[in-house]
Amino acid sequence: MGPQRQMMDVVVRSTGRYVPERVFLNHEFESFLDTSDQWITERTGIKERHLAAPGESVSDMSLHAARQALERAGLGPEDIDLIVVATVTGDTVFPSTANWLQGKLGNTRGWSFDINAACSGFIYSLSTVTALLRSGQARRALLVGAEKMSAILDFTDRASCVLFGDAAAALVLEAVEPEQNGEGYGIGEFYLGSDGSLAEILYQPCGGSSSPPTFSSVQRHGHYVKMQGQDVYKNAVRRMDEVVDGVLKKQGVAPESVDWFIAHQANVRIIDSVRERMKLPAERFYVNIQRYGNTTSATIPLCLDELVCDGRLSAGQNLVLFTFGAGLTWGSAFLKWGVPAGLAPAPGDIAKRDISDNEEAAAGAPAAPVEVQR
């Protein structure tokens, strides 16, 4: 047995994000579904979502977010030795979307893989990456949560298609010696769980080895998201409560000491339920579902990057990230925001909102046509 390694601390060096140009508003569904802007908004909190262009892949979106995160960290692709993509809508069944992303980045020294845990994918991936960095198997990691949910939505099913959007968001994480991190910045405890007996209340029935693609499976819309909404909602409320309590107990921190609660953006009513039970002000729960809908693995890192670019995160702040998703899966993570002296400036030092080229174009351009499968 070799010498025992010291466990490293893991900090977030930078963030990045990308959303497609096309903004799809609630009222646009009215032309082909029995729904309305009021119906969608009251039940979900969503006002609009972004939809990827027909030829725009998950690895393409991931590339934009990754490059932004690397630039902010002052790093190049070859400075990364681990690439992980959380997604359920990967470019191909194999190889992984992380492999495609690695090639597009021009990284040749790292190793890469995907994690599929639906809406819990980012938290599960953050836990995996943190463990690998803590143990010394990598020094710097690029973690991306990215989805093209529009590729697997049934646009004749108003119960599901109005909920989701497309996006990618990235983090650069780095292992640091505890002695160099006197403030204790970085990733803390995790609380994770799953229940496979409830897999069929939210899933994609066809396309895997148990039900390969056939003419019949395509005809009956078997390759699209299927959801039992009420069952998902009830389980989500219960598990989101559980994961917040669980990670705070493991970390030994009171809810009042948390500066930001960053939830998976699935439904604003779920987030409100957690907040009301905890009797905490709405200002400490970050919400952006009204602009993006549910972007599955991308929701939490998308929130983080917005907070960074808006200058609302500062060193020493405590964050709780928490989620729930298909599987059923759930999880949470504790994060003390900040970067030790000697590394790149903390992302919170960005003085003004950094709006990417694609967002500027979207803000000033007329709505482009979008293809939906009906």
Identity of the amino acid at 251? Q
- Are 260 and 332 a contacting pair, CB within 8 Å? no
119 is annotated as an active-site residue: yes
Please state, in angstroms and rounded to a whole number, the distance separating the CA atoms of residues 124 and 127.
5
264 is annotated as an active-site residue: yes
Q: How many other CB atoms sit within 10 Å of the CB of residue 160?
A: 20
Name the active-site residue from 26, 64, 116, 119: 119
pLDDT computed for residue 3 by the predictor: 64
pLDDT computed for residue 6 by the predictor: 84
Q: Give the closest residue to 65 by CA, choosing from 108, 100, 111, 15.
A: 15
3-state DSSP call for residue 202?
strand
Q: DSSP secondary structure string, 71-104?
A: HHHT--GGG--EEEEE-SS-S-SSS-HHHHHHHH
Largest CA distance in the chain: 67
Quote the pTM value: 0.92
Residue with tokens 């598990």: 239
3-state DSSP call for residue 20?
coil
Structure tokens at 131: 């463990």
Q: Which domains does the chain have, with CATH numbers?
A: 9-183+342-364 (3.40.47.10), 186-336 (3.40.47.10)
Please state, in angstroms and rounded to a whole number, the distance separating the CA atoms of residues 5 and 200.
42
Q: How many other CB atoms sit within 10 Å of the CB of residue 91?
A: 21
pLDDT tens for 169-227 read 999 999 999 999 999 999 999 999 999 999 999 999 999 999 999 999 999 999 999 99
Please state, in angstroms and rounded to a whole number, the distance separating the CA atoms of residues 16 and 356.
9
Q: Please give the span between the terminal C-alpha atoms of the chain, in angstroms, as a whole number.
A: 60
Please state, in angstroms and rounded to a whole number, the distance separating the CA atoms of residues 26 and 40.
7
The DSSP 8-state label assigned to residue 270 in this structure reads H
**Cα angle for residues 201, 244, 116 (degrees, 5° grid):** 45
pLDDT computed for residue 343 by the predictor: 83
Q: Could you tell me which residues are beta bridge partners of residue 202?
A: 227
User: Backbone dihedral region of 118: left (phi > 0), alpha (psi from -120 to 50 degrees) or beta?
Assistant: left
pLDDT tens for 287-300 read 999 999 999 999 99
Name the active-site residue from 107, 235, 267, 294: 294
Per DSSP bridges, beta strands 226-227 and 260-263 are: unpaired
Name the active-site residue from 50, 64, 223, 264: 264
Low-confidence stretches of the chain (pLDDT beneath 70):
1-3, 344-374
Residue 298 makes CB contacts below 8 A (sequence gap 6+) with: 122, 145, 146, 147, 167, 168, 169
pLDDT computed for residue 2 by the predictor: 62
- Are 176 and 9 a contacting pair, CB within 8 Å? yes
pLDDT computed for residue 298 by the predictor: 98
Q: What CA dihedral angle connects 20, 337, 325 and 95, to 10 degrees?
A: 60
Residue 236: C-alpha distances to residues 68, 116, 202, 299 (Å): 32, 18, 12, 15
Q: What CA dihedral angle connects 369, 295, 101 and 305, to 10 degrees?
A: 110
294 is annotated as an active-site residue: yes
Residue 215 makes CB contacts below 8 A (sequence gap 6+) with: none
